[in-house]
Structure 1
């Protein structure tokens, strides 16, 4: 069975919906379901297919997407031409994870989908999380302005990545010893790499005490 995140697109413009579906399919780890064009069809599709994420327009022929939003028990991105401040505030108040104003590029949507995948990984599993993990997940939902997939890496960051290549899973303390930096410095670089999506984080629960953060390359 595919582990891809399933995405339902809800937009009354057939051509726009098809374009957004192509954007979604171009991102590794995501699968676009057949788009729907009305609020009623969206409710039925969510019930039938249980998508991980809904890309929802504000203006639908039978209801406002903002009214539909409050009834959906799933993660939602608002993708809309509605640029009113009230619409944006209402969307976030009713649970939208992001608000992307049309027209936007494939790269902009790709960045947000990749951020969503990181958010899901950080909040994966039935176990609890600490505040640091919650903060990192929420922070990662919003890509940095003009974010790109590549950037120059500092020597210490490169050393951290090389240390990760040699281990399946490793703690910040172990990375610090390998690289020759303090644990706080190693933690800072690891957190930045997690936010960027280059490194994944897991929680290991022992018999007592707080869970330990372990890092690995995807």
Structure 2
């Protein structure tokens, strides 16, 4: 399991990005931080940091070299200097906000493949290094297929239920309509989100945890 720290000054944005991370198999959110100071403390022991540039106490760019973890920038900073600085200080990817669950998911999946290529007890060849770099920057293409162990029929039922609704739905609502468990609906919705067919947002109620909302993305 790859542990991720989500760093963003806006707690709602951090919650949404954390929700995106949780959609990706093999990743889990180890914590959220809203300041550079909290990020320094929270980054100990994590594998990956999603890092914003605009933090209230310090720029994420100045914080970046101090983090003992891999870093993907997740920020609204679009000036060339910020991008160059981020890469020169060790960022692996630069993702401009706002982004979708699919866009982040692609980078996380590529990062997981990159780690796999570099997991070895022996020495690496140039071919090994080149393969790892290609994996890091590869972007999945093509029409999505059901994930391993999933039924194409159930995937179609879940997708059709979302299409018919014409508005964002929760996993609980989809499970009731399709006649499957909430956990099963969540898995299929997560796969659709990873494939870019579903847009994921958060609904905040008066009490309790925020709830994921899924909305079909028409081509």
Q: TM-score, normalised by structure 1?
A: 0.64
Residue 26 of structure 1: which of 12, 23, 28 is its match? 23
Give 1:147 shift.
2.6
> How many residues align structurally?
145
Q: Which stretches of structure 1, 4 residues or more, deviate above 2 A after TM superposition?
A: 146-151
CA distance in 1, matches of 2:9, 2:37: 12
Q: Which runs of 5+ in 2 are unaligned?
A: 146-219
Residue 124 of structure 2: which of 125, 129, 132 is its match? 129
Residue 44 of structure 1: which of 41, 44, 47 is its match? 41
Matched residue, 2:184: none
Matches within 5 A, 1:56-67: 56-67=51-62
Q: Which runs of 5+ in 1 are unaligned?
A: 152-218
The one-character-per-residue Cα deviations of 1:175-210 (angstroms, maximum 9, x if unpaired) are xxxxxxxxxxxxxxxxxxxxxxxxxxxxxxxxxxxx
CA distance in 2, matches of 1:35, 1:134: 32
Give 1:150 shift.
4.2
The SS at the match of 2:28 is strand
CA distance in 2, matches of 1:42, 1:82: 18
CA distance in 1, matches of 2:117, 2:143: 20
Bigger-Rg structure (1/2): 1
| RMSD (Å), alpha carbons | 1.4
Matched residue, 1:169: none
Give 1:133 shift.
1.1
The SS at the match of 1:55 is strand
Give 1:125 shift.
2.8
- The question of 1:9 aligning with 2:3 is answered no
CA distance in 2, matches of 1:149, 1:115: 18
Matched residue, 1:75: 70
Give 1:115 shift.
0.3
The SS at the match of 1:121 is helix
Give 1:149 shift.
6.2
Q: TM-score, normalised by structure 2?
A: 0.64
**Greater relative contact order, per chain length (Cα 8 Å cut-off, separation 6+):** 2
